[in-house]
Amino acid sequence: MTAHDAVKSMYSLSSSINMKGEAQEELYILDLVISRSSNPLVATSLSDGNIQLFKLEGLQKTDSIKRHGEVLTGIRFSHENPQILWSSCSDGKICCWDLRQEINKPVKELKDTSDNEVKPISCFDVDLSDTFVCGGTELINEDSFLLFWDVRTSQLLGGYWDSHTDDITEVRYHPYKRDVLASGSTDGLINIFDVKETTEEDALQLTLNSNSSVVSN
């Protein structure tokens, strides 16, 4: 028996759905996440800029978040509240959606307002306590940024811009160490930070050079 046959004997398709837009055009799924709850939701970010929500069991569509910017670059459910969904976009915004409310208007919107230049967000993550958000950016005038926000105030806390030299493709907080963050980039580097340190130089704990563009950590 081949590995493929073994998998087929263990699992069977229970439901499927064809993702289509308002004009019935077929869409690409850019990202997919599942909420941590007794009745899980599946959130998908789509190539038309919309987010669609489904019940995990049976893939019954429950709602959608209409296009709110340019290209969606990531989605995440809250660690503590399965009704809170985050999304990032190349328009420089990270939005928080409360699925219990009118979901075509975000309840929080994080962006860098320190200058007049949009910093396209290419990836993001929310820390274990749902208190801090880190967003990675594309390369902008020879700099790529890791930006940090306090969710409670929506205020930008600061950023790192010396640790990567090309588009940042992935940021991930450690699953149980809230102060540890990993980032990857098309510059080939994977960096590990201790974000409780006060400077970028002190925060950078380890750099791994993959000698190839990093897609995800």
- Global confidence as pTM: 0.90
Alpha helices in the chain (DSSP H): 3-10, 200-203
CA angle 191, 92, 213 (to 5 degrees): 35
More confident position, 14 or 108: 108
Q: Is 6 helix (H, G, I), strand (E, B) or coil?
A: helix
Per-residue model confidence as pLDDT tens digits over 8-48 = 677 788 888 888 777 777 889 999 999 998 899 999 999 99
Report the pLDDT value the prediction gives residue 111, as an integer from 0 to 100: 94
Mean pLDDT of 119-135: 96
Pick the closest to residue 123 from 160, 90, 163, 165 (CA basis).
90
Q: What is the pLDDT of residues 128-156, one digit of tens each?
A: 999 999 999 999 988 999 999 999 999 99
Amino acid, single-letter form, for residue 36 = R
With bands split at pLDDT 50, 70 and 90, how would you rate the model's confidence at 103? confident
- Contact predicate 72/31, CB 8 Å: yes
Structural domains of the chain, ranges and CATH numbers in brackets: 17-111 (2.40.10.480)
Q: What is the DSSP string of 42-103?
A: EEEEETTS-EEEEETTTT-EEEEE---SS-EEEEEE-SS-TTEEEEEETTSEEEEEETTS-T
- For position 13, what pLDDT does the model report? 80
DSSP 143: B
Q: Copy the structure tokens of residue 111.
A: 């962006």
What integer pLDDT is reported at residue 75 of this predicted model? 96
pLDDT of residue 133: 98
In sequence order, which residues have a C-beta less than 8 Å from that of residue 108 and are 6 or more positions away?
95, 96, 151, 154
CA distance 27 to 196: 41
